[in-house]
Homo-oligomer: A and B are copies of this chain.
Amino acid sequence: MAADALPRTRLFIDQPLAAEGMVALDGDRAHYLRAVLRQGPGDKVLAFNGRDGEYLASIETLAKSAGMLRLDRQTRTPVTDAPPSPWLVFAPLKGGRSEYVVEKAVELGVGRLVPVYTRRSDVGRINLDRLRANALEAAEQCERLDAPDVVDGIDLQKLLTTWEPGRTLFVAAESGDAQPLVTAVTAAAGKPVAFLVGPEGGFDRQELDALRRLPFVVSVGLGPRVLRADTAAFSALAVWQAAAGDWRCGDGDARPPNRV
């Protein structure tokens, strides 16, 4: 089968994958294949689990809320030498914008999504299941081999006191001295980093002062216009990938280099 003829449907299957193995479909995925995509036995899909690469699979059985896939062959090997993926720490947003941030961040290669509560956060609770489903769906769609973590919401103060040693935290600054984003991220290429984006109302003065005192925090500037929080989040990730991440050496071929 030519690479071009691979099926477009990709499913995240949280089970071990190996050629000639069989894996069970959960109710949601069986329903999606049957009722939404109108597929049935013999149709092909791609399966990945974040560990074993990607497999071409055939639908063996498909009922209303169950089904089986037969794994035909491996189509992509696991990536073992990838540089660390950036994390995104974001204050939850109203009006579906958190879901949008998750979708875009996954497409832009984020490794972990961390909802954070700040003093001016205007969303008190997140729907973690929904954000995780958004992340999985985006991973399926954008041909990632892994599905990024979406961890539970945490207070900013607590996050900072338990921060992972050695990981730089870039903060999108609205004022004060800050490095241009491209300069800051280029200098951090190959290192573990995270981007922190506050709520629409911004951080309050005490939060900003506390952030600036932390040795792992680097303030970055995102230009003269006032960006919405969602724009700041995925702009930072896009510039990271372009200047320090996996967009640098690509030749524009969207086909992943580990396609077999």
Inter-chain contacts of A242 with B (CB < 8 A): 180-182, 223, 235, 239, 242-243
B181 touches A219 (CB 8 A): no
Question: In terms of DSSP, what is the predominant structure of the interface of chain A?
Answer: loop
Chain A 64-101 near chain B by CB (<8 Å), digits 1 or 0: 00000000000000000000000000000000000010
Decide if A165 is an interface residue (CB 8 Å cutoff): no
Decide if A249 is an interface residue (CB 8 Å cutoff): yes
Inter-chain contacts of A104 with B (CB < 8 A): 231
Q: Quick one: copies of this chain in the complex?
A: 2
B243 touches A224 (CB 8 A): no
Query: In which size bucket is the chain A interface?
Result: 35 or more
A223 touches B245 (CB 8 A): yes
Among A222, A238, A246, the most chain B Cβ lie within 10 Å of the Cβ of: A238
A107 touches B227 (CB 8 A): yes
Decide if A241 is an interface residue (CB 8 Å cutoff): yes
Inter-chain contacts of A163 with B (CB < 8 A): none
Chain A 232-252 near chain B by CB (<8 Å), digits 1 or 0: 001100110111011111111
B221 touches A247 (CB 8 A): yes
B221 touches A142 (CB 8 A): no
- A residues with CB within 8 A of B: 100, 103-104, 107-109, 141-144, 173-182, 219-228, 231, 234-235, 238-239, 241-243, 245-257
